[in-house]
Amino acid sequence: MTSDVIQGGDWAENIAKLLGSHYPDVPDKTLDITLATCSDVESSVDSNKCSENHQVTFAEIFNHTLPSSPKIIEFNSTIEHIWTIKQGTSLVDRDDAKISEAIFLMSDILDIYWNEFPTKTKVLLLDKLQIFNKSGWQFMLKLISQLPKTLKDVSFRYATYISEYNSLNRSTQEHLKQTAYTNSTSLIKSIWYLCNVVRKMLKKDGKLLKENQANIQNFTVDILSLIRQNSKNDAFQVNDEKVIHSFNCKGEPFSYNIKDLFWNPKAYDYIKEQEEIFGLCFPKLIKEYPDRYVIFENSEVIDSDSDEITLLGRISKNESYKDRPAIFCKLVPKNPKMNKVNA
Amino acid sequence: MLDFHYTKIDGKSAIPIVDLYFKNPVNFIFTTKTDFAVIDTGSDVTVVSYTVISKLRVRPLPEPQQIHIKGFGRENIGIPYLVEAGFSNENYIYVKVFAIPDDILDGQVIVGRDILNNYVITFDDPNLVFTISD
């Protein structure tokens, strides 16, 4: 393993600062963090294999495990291409769609075959993901920040693989969750949280197995909640901090703030407050009201319906609800799709 | 059934423009009307100027959304509000509209499929007329 410092420019430094400010107990250089992760892997699994890990391509891993298929071959070439992308290259010049597709494909393949992999393959794959973080860490985070929807999905799927979270003792789990809940305000930190779980998991005993469906479900709900909470005020944050740059009807540059679109300032504060409470209640909501619109206030669901407009019409006629400055109506997503994982 | 004629503006091709009535679902004192509502079957949602919302004094909903207006690349954030809307001041439906600054829409309303899907609309382009019925 080399110890070269990755040249990521200002962007990498900013990420390092961001991570450092929220996770003071970890090194302030992104590369140091990822190198430490790789060291964890190295010390926890067969050292001979580990020394070769960095030379092992995805193609080689899959070729030893899975029957070859055009889809997998295509995936291999794409993912290896991503691996070799030089840092500092503008994302604009890249084929984002292809990259996203490859990431999804990777997730799908792991979804399908994960249970069939021998332990060492799992170790290699997870290590490969860590290497991806090492050689493409900045790229990965930038991708996260630029494609939040993609990343939510990736981080969600990634989380499902890390069922060993439940093998950690309760206090460690709580610590991780609390750290994430209290410190995280962005998706980037969600991902970092997940990586931290992996680190701690690998540091613990190096084992990557023994998951069960219920544990995965609990973990994914936790992670969904976390991601949801982290992204809860994305739109508000963007507009709190930044001005939206647009064009007026004459085609001239025109800027505005989202707050300007609330005739009642209390409504803005009300929605923001309820967004926060909604995020905290998300695990409960996703279990009790999957795929339903809910009228939510202060941890309670006042009414729910499968149709948003029907619900809004009904609540508008509700005398006891009329004095609210805003209507907090939101769709609770379906329960996360369960992987085919057995105990 | 309501009959309308296409409207020609500034020498451009004629477009289907209608009057659209709004009211506050909770307090019917607050009503307003626009005479420049563009029928846009390509729009998923209905977009109004902030002035319409401030006149109605309606309540917002969560989850502001990105709205593409007047061409690709022109993104705006719209705030969702619950209103009642109708093509006449007799029949209204509940609808979620998105408010964006007046400067962007210049007083127009974009009538999207969330409203249009509640009606039968027939376009007679050769004769530049169209009809709307419940």
Q: Which residues of A touch B101 (CB under 8 A)?
A: 246, 254, 256, 260-261
Which among B57, B82, B103 has CB closest to A312?
B82
Contact B60 A271 (CB under 8 A): yes
With a cut of 80, say whether residue B88 has pLDDT above it.
yes
* Token duo for residue A101: 């597709």
Categorize the per-residue pLDDT at B99 as very low, low, confident or very high, splitting at 50, 70 and 90: very high
Contact B62 A239 (CB under 8 A): no
Q: How far apart are the first and last CA of chain B?
A: 7
Mean pLDDT per 10-residue section of chain A, whose length is 343 residues: 27 38 35 32 31 38 44 51 40 42 48 49 48 37 38 42 45 50 38 46 37 39 47 39 66 77 87 84 82 91 94 90 90 58 30
What's the pLDDT score for residue A272?
A: 86
What's the pLDDT score for residue A169?
A: 53
Task: Give CB contacts under 8 A, 24+ apart, made by A112-116.
Answer: A112/A340, A113/A65, A113/A66, A114/A161, A114/A339, A114/A341, A115/A340, A115/A341, A115/A342, A116/A65
β-bridge pairing B2-5 and B129-133: antiparallel
Note the ipTM here: 0.89
Q: How far is CA B29 from CA A318, A339, B59, in A?
A: 18, 54, 15
What's the pLDDT score for residue A283?
A: 72
Optimal mutation site among A261, A285, A309, interface B, most CBs of chain B within 10 A: A261
What's the pLDDT score for residue A147?
A: 33
Longest Cα pair distance anywhere in chain A, in angstroms?
A: 71
Which among B77, B103, B105 has CB closest to A235?
B77
C-alpha–C-alpha distance, residues B116 and B102, integer Å: 23
Helix (H, G, I), strand (E, B) or coil at A330: strand
What's the pLDDT score for residue B58?
A: 93
Helix (H, G, I), strand (E, B) or coil at A287: helix
Interface residues of B toward A, Cβ cutoff 8 Å, are: 25-26, 50, 53-54, 57, 59-65, 70, 74-79, 82, 94-96, 99-101, 103-106
- CA of B82, closest CA in chain A: separation in Å? 8
Q: Which residues of A touch B95 (CB under 8 A)?
A: 309
Contact B77 A325 (CB under 8 A): no
- CA of B126, closest CA in chain A: separation in Å? 29
What's the pLDDT score for residue B75?
A: 66
* pLDDT, tens only, B13-48: 888 999 999 999 988 888 899 988 999 988 889 999
Could you tell me if A289 and A335 are in contact, meaning their C-beta atoms sit under 8 angstroms apart? no
Which among A313, A316, A328 has CB closest to B62?
A328
What's the pLDDT score for residue B38?
A: 92
* Token duo for residue A285: 């909501």
What's the pLDDT score for residue A77?
A: 54
Residues in contact with A323: Cβ distance below 8 Å, sequence separation at least 6, in sequence order: none
C-alpha–C-alpha distance, residues A268 and A326, integer Å: 8
| Cα angle for residues A92, A94, A95 (degrees, 5° grid) | 115
Residues in contact with B70: Cβ distance below 8 Å, sequence separation at least 6, in sequence order: A247, A249, B104
Could you tell me if A208 and A164 are in contact, meaning their C-beta atoms sit under 8 angstroms apart? yes
pTM for the full model? 0.53
Q: Which residues of A touch B26 (CB under 8 A)?
A: 316, 322
What's the pLDDT score for residue B70?
A: 60
What's the pLDDT score for residue A317?
A: 87
Which among A262, A316, A322 has CB closest to B79?
A262
Residues in contact with B10: Cβ distance below 8 Å, sequence separation at least 6, in sequence order: none
C-alpha–C-alpha distance, residues B8 and B97, integer Å: 26
Number of alpha carbons in the 13 Å side-chain half-sphere of residue A24: 1
β-bridge pairing A300-305 and A329-332: unpaired
C-alpha–C-alpha distance, residues A258 and A244, integer Å: 8
| Cα angle for residues A331, A336, A338 (degrees, 5° grid) | 160
C-alpha–C-alpha distance, residues A102 and A132, integer Å: 13
Report phi then psi at A319, rounded to 5: -55, -40
| Mean pLDDT, all residues of chain B | 88
Which among A249, A268, A322 has CB closest to B105?
A249
| Cα angle for residues A222, A224, A227 (degrees, 5° grid) | 110
